[in-house]
Amino acid sequence: MGGINHQPTKKPFAFSTLLSQYFTGALGKLMYANYELEQALLTEMRGGSPWEVNVYMENAKSELGESLRFLYAALEATTTLHNRMAELEYQDTSRFTVSDFAALGCRLAQIGLIPGNMETWKAVSEMREDEAFYGVCRLITEELNDLVGKTKEVVQSFHEATQYALEGRLMAAVDENLIPFRHAFFRLITSWVKAWTMFIQSAAMSTEMYYREEGYGTLLSVRELAAV
């Protein structure tokens, strides 16, 4: 979403917005894959034919493939953004606009602008202080690579589930723990919660520093700006 893309500098880095768009697209496709999977399960529960069930399973696999495509595109955008910053000898001076990142994170979480996981906020803010936005790019790359691996695990679980679907036993395979289907999904969704939290917090951090550096106010109220 344009509402959560990073703005690391005055210069218009289109790759920053592309990164956010691809990241959002990957999550959106994953959610639609889950929607198609649930339609497959519902179809079997309602007495639909195995052929009908498998159509939804194939749709779900296709959406997962699109999610992977977006993740790879996000990785490419991150690398390009990092390289472009290096070419321009980008200096992340805006990080000096915040004197207390811990206090800022707590306040942003308190007013509902970021998820309240302060451990993630601490990791991002320390990286930002030590390595500027270059370090944030590295963190994002790590999260994206993890999501790629976990998405591939879910794709593999679909291959195992397809045969059960064609036999009219998809519900049994899932509910009776015959295949590690939910294991793979839970692992992927948990990784997405972590990555999404980090991305939102990092984007809010970038936005706040940019607003302050440019004199555009703050995500917080004007009264609180001097205290953080």
Helix H, strand E, coil C: the string for the chain is CHHHCCCCCCCCCHHHHHHHHHHHHHHHHHHHHHHHHHHHHHHHHCCCCHHHHHHHHHHHHHHHHHHHHHHHHHHHHHHHHHHHHHHCCCCCHHHHHCCCHHHHHHHHHHCCCCCCCHHHHHHHHHHHHHHHHHHHHHHHHHHHHHHHHHHHHHHHHHHHHHHHHHCCCHHHHHHCCCCCHHHHHHHHHHHHHHHHHHHHHHHHHHHHHHHHHHCCCCCCCHHHHCCC
More confident residue, 8 or 136: 136
Nearest-angstrom CA–CA distance, 156 and 169 = 18
pLDDT of residue 35: 97
Q: Lowest-confidence range among 37-51, 68-82, 83-97, 139-153?
A: 83-97
pLDDT of residue 85: 86
- Tokens for 123, please give them: 């990791």
CB 99 within 8 A of CB 228: yes
Burial of 209 (0-12, 13-18, 19+ CB in 10 A): buried
- Tokens for 89, please give them: 């000898």
pLDDT of residue 12: 52
What confidence tens digit (pLDDT) does each residue in 163-188 have?
999 999 999 999 999 998 899 999 99
Mean pLDDT of the residues in the chain? 89
On whether the pTM is more than 0.75, the answer is yes
